[in-house]
Structure 1
Amino acid sequence: MRGITYIQGDATAPQGKGVKIIAHVCNDLGGWGKGFVRAVSRRWPEPEAAYRRWHRDRAGNDFALGAVQFVQVGPYLWVANMVGQRGMRTGRSTGVPVRYEAIDTALGRVADRALELGASVHMPRIGCGLAGGKWSRIEPLITERLVGRGTAVTVYDREG
């Protein structure tokens, strides 16, 4: 079993061959506009549009913490919108929005899809930016849910 591969670069331009899934964390409020999602939207409009529809129509679908929406953006490329954040940070916030249990559940769903597609998974340090999470809590979830099931995972740290 290989571990997580860490590289400097842009997670919206995943390295390697074959089918790839770019996984990232979204909030449960339908908000899209800060953090990694801006890089996603600069490259493809579909993930944001799909996420906003998914949230808007949530009374009739599975939109909730731990849910994942897979949006195909190329012949061999998917974006996984993982709902792993309760709300957003504001100037009055006292806690962090990250929900580790939701990220854990979502990563299990990403692993299922990766195995189904024969895909590798690519991501920034999910849940650790605007969501306020700690990588020391997220990394073991990725190792257990993805790497432990044989899925290659690359984590991208932005250059500069």
Structure 2
Amino acid sequence: MSEIRYVRGDATAPQGKSVKLIAHVCNDLGGWGKGFVLAISRRWPESETAYRRWHRERAGNDFGLGAVQYVRVEPHVWVANMIGQHGIRTGSKGVPVRYEAIGTALGSLADKAVESGASVHMPRIGCGLAGGQWSRVEPLIAERLLSRGISVTVYDYDK
């Protein structure tokens, strides 16, 4: 089993020659306006448009915790909008991150990566505004992606 490759850089400018899946965590409220999604929107506004439509039409689709929406943004680049946080604020029920939902979404991501021969690129998903701990997310990545031979690069952005 390979290891996660950690690099300094921007996950919206993924490195490598293969098909690339850029994974990030979204909330289940339809909100898109803070954190890594802003970088995605600046580069590929169609990702935000697709997410908002997916949420708006949720009565007739799979939108919800653990679901993933794939948006093709370049010929060899896809953005994976993964629903892995419930709400947007830390409150009496704790932080918004939902590890089980992230695990489910990563399973779907793994299937897509294998099917398309893609590598996976991401920031430290679920650990920014969602309030998660990398020590809990990293094992999910190992279990769902690395165990299937999928190359994973995690980007730490220098502001």
| TM bucket, shorter chain | over 0.9
1:29 aligns with 2:29: yes
Q: How does 1:97-116 map to 2 (within 5 A)?
A: 97-116=96-115
Q: Whole-Å Cα distance in 2 between the matches of residues 104 and 48 of structure 1?
A: 22
Report the CA distance between 1:98 and its aligned residue. Answer: 0.1
When normalised by structure 2's length, the TM-score is 0.98
What is residue 126 of structure 2 aligned with on the other side? 127
2:106 is paired with a residue of what secondary structure?
helix
Q: Whole-Å Cα distance in 1 between the matches of residues 32 and 131 of structure 2?
A: 16
- Deviations, residues 77-127 of structure 1 (Å, cap 9, x unaligned): 00000000000016xx23100000000000000000000000000000000
2:25 is paired with a residue of what secondary structure?
strand
What is residue 79 of structure 2 aligned with on the other side? 79
1:96 is paired with a residue of what secondary structure?
coil
2:115 is paired with a residue of what secondary structure?
helix
- For structure 1, list consecutive stretches of 5 or more residues without a partner in the other structure: none
Report the CA distance between 1:148 and its aligned residue. Answer: 0.5
| Counterpart AA for 1:138 | V
- For structure 2, list consecutive stretches of 5 or more residues without a partner in the other structure: none
1:42 is paired with a residue of what secondary structure?
helix
Question: CA-atom RMSD, angstroms?
Answer: 0.8
- Deviations, residues 29-59 of structure 1 (Å, cap 9, x unaligned): 0000000000000001111000000000000
1:154 is paired with a residue of what secondary structure?
strand
| Counterpart AA for 2:132 | G
- Percent identical: 75
What is residue 158 of structure 1 aligned with on the other side? 157
Runs of 4 or more consecutive aligned structure 1 residues displaced over 6 Å after TM superposition: none
Q: Whole-Å Cα distance in 2 between the matches of residues 34 and 119 of structure 1?
A: 27
1:141 aligns with 2:140: yes
| Counterpart AA for 2:31 | G
Report the CA distance between 1:2 and its aligned residue. Answer: 1.1
